[in-house]
Amino acid sequence: MNWYQINSAFTLFLSLLVEAVPFLMLGVLFSGLLQFFVDERRLVQLMPRNPFLGALAGSCLGFLFPVCECGNVPVARRLLMQGVPSSVAIGFLLAAPTINPIVFWATWTAFRDQPELVFLRIGCSLVIATLIGWIFSIQRDLRPLLQPNVARAMPVPVRDRVPPEAEAAGNTPSLLQSGTYFLGQSAQPVDAAQLAAVAAMNPAAGKPAAYKLTLMLESMVQELRELGGVLVLGSAIAAVIQVFAPREAILALGQGPVTSIVAMMVLAAVVSICSTVDAFFALSFSSLFTTGSILSFLVYGPMIDLKGVGLMLSIFRPRAVFYLFALAGQLTFLFALLVNLYGS
């Protein structure tokens, strides 16, 4: 380690922040607008009930919310807190950084001579995000995989609510009685404050516009404080690894159909380049690496990188982030390998 490397790491850290902060603020703004304008009950009603169709619909929402991997996290968190099905929110979380018009235009500009790579990027990202959203929908109650503050803000699933006739008869199910426990969470009593937070999930309902605006601004400030810290930490880790990791060893793996994919996926996770400009970075490797490996960089990086993992931890518990990491990696590797083996 020398002063030149330290200076390079600090410069890279600042460049990552400068690149990411505007998109994070854009995502927080979209999140606030969702809270201000969107009635979560109507939003939930509009989403498909079928888990697979819900994941597909969520993956396509990026066309309406053109944000990168920094801005999609607050929007996805707001969707979950408004009661949108988990398949929809996770599909949006993974696909929005790629399935949006800005990224499509940037990729087309960079790979104008390889138009098939542009459509492969969009298609593979859509399929992978839809499949992962559908897989996560198997978890009927997503709250055990979420951070406590997000889980508390989510509406109680219909199956967990007390039936009116049972409540009227004074025969409250033991699941919600004082001193009992949430399903699947042994030795953890029901917290009255948690139930009150769930019941007050939409405090702006029926309130005047001035009150809603104040609530929206307070929520945006809180999200910026929560997400800004993890963004700084993730950018610092990415900068340190990118400067001090032996990049030559990674690039040396770029000749084989399998090792090239692994190398570019590792590079995508470490470099943490915003999805709106990553196509131009990948273009510089197109003469050295296989088409499938370039595709893996363009698909995997926007879904999972070190900077984005820190932001995802503001929504999910570490094991859920690991599941997302592993599923996205396996599916990306599979599609990229098929392109290497059977592509022209």
pLDDT in tens, 274-327: 777 778 778 767 777 889 999 999 999 888 877 778 788 888 999 999 999 999
Number of domains in the chain: 1
Under 8 Å between Cβ of 337 and 292:
yes
pTM of the model: 0.69
Give mean pLDDT, residues 141-168: 69
47 in a structural domain: yes
Average predicted confidence (pLDDT) for the chain: 75
Is a pLDDT exceeding 50 seen at residue 187? no
189 in a structural domain: no
285 in a structural domain: yes
Question: What is the predicted pLDDT for the residue at 185?
Answer: 39
74 in a structural domain: yes
Question: What is the predicted pLDDT for the residue at 135?
Answer: 93
Burial of 169 (0-12, 13-18, 19+ CB in 10 A): exposed
pLDDT per residue as tens digits for the range 204-219 = 555 667 767 777 777 6
Q: Which of 229, 331, 320, 195 is nearest to 24 (CA)?
A: 229
* CA pair distance 331, 94, nearest whole angstrom: 13
267 in a structural domain: yes
Is a pLDDT exceeding 60 seen at residue 198? no
pLDDT per residue as tens digits for the range 249-258 = 666 666 678 8
Beta bridge partners, 189, equal 181
In degrees, rounded to 5, the angle at the alpha carbon of residue 181 between the alpha carbons of residues 176 and 184 is 115
Is a pLDDT exceeding 70 seen at residue 336? yes
Question: What is the predicted pLDDT for the residue at 10?
Answer: 85
Give mean pLDDT, residues 12-37: 70
Under 8 Å between Cβ of 257 and 82:
no
Question: What is the predicted pLDDT for the residue at 293?
Answer: 92
Contacts of 232 (CB under 8 A, 6+ apart): 17
Question: What is the predicted pLDDT for the residue at 182?
Answer: 34
Question: What is the predicted pLDDT for the residue at 259?
Answer: 86
Residue percentage of the chain with pLDDT more than 70:
66
pLDDT tier for residue 138 given thresholds of 50, 70 and 90: confident
210 CB neighbour count, 10 Å cutoff:
8
Residue percentage of the chain with pLDDT more than 90:
18
179 in a structural domain: no
Domain extent, residue 114, equals 3-155+201-342
Give mean pLDDT, residues 114-118: 90
115 in a structural domain: yes
Give mean pLDDT, residues 174-202: 38
Q: Which long-range contacts (CB under 8 A, 24 or more apart) does 319-327 make?
A: 319/145, 320/145, 320/146, 323/136, 323/145, 324/90, 324/94, 324/132, 327/131, 327/132, 327/135
Under 8 Å between Cβ of 13 and 193:
no
Question: What is the predicted pLDDT for the residue at 274?
Answer: 72
pLDDT tier for residue 24 given thresholds of 50, 70 and 90: low
Question: What is the predicted pLDDT for the residue at 132?
Answer: 95
* CA pair distance 143, 59, nearest whole angstrom: 21
310 in a structural domain: yes
Is a pLDDT exceeding 70 seen at residue 180? no
